[in-house]
Amino acid sequence: MAYIIAEPCINVKDKACVEVCPVDCIYEGPEMLFIHPDECIDCGACEPVCPVKAIFAEDETPDKWKQFIDLNKQFFKDNPGVKPSTKK
């Protein structure tokens, strides 16, 4: 199970989560950030620092944002070789 980023991140892309991620598994897309499901170590460090409360453990994602689980996975299928977002 990985963490995912949901709708509240769209057009926000605050990178507080990137700063605390110990494995650099958060990537920047055109409208939001994404967590790589194969690289996430499920540490949860990113969740409490998200100012818009957009990060959830996959199995705790609210029903209204469940589609973001597949959206996060699809981002990496569509963008092989994408580089992690850079820390400030």
pLDDT in tens, 5-52: 999 999 999 999 999 999 999 999 999 999 999 999 999 999 999 999
Question: What pTM does this model have?
Answer: 0.92
Question: What integer pLDDT is reported at residue 87 of this predicted model?
Answer: 64
d(CA 9, CA 66): 14
> Which residue ranges form the domains of the chain, and what is each CATH number?
3-78 (3.30.70.20)
**pLDDT value for 18:** 96
User: DSSP characters for the chain?
Assistant: --EEE-GGGTTT---HHHHH-TT--EEE-SSSEEE-TTT-----SSGGG-TT--EEEGGG--GGGTHHHHHHHHHHHHSTTPPPPPP-
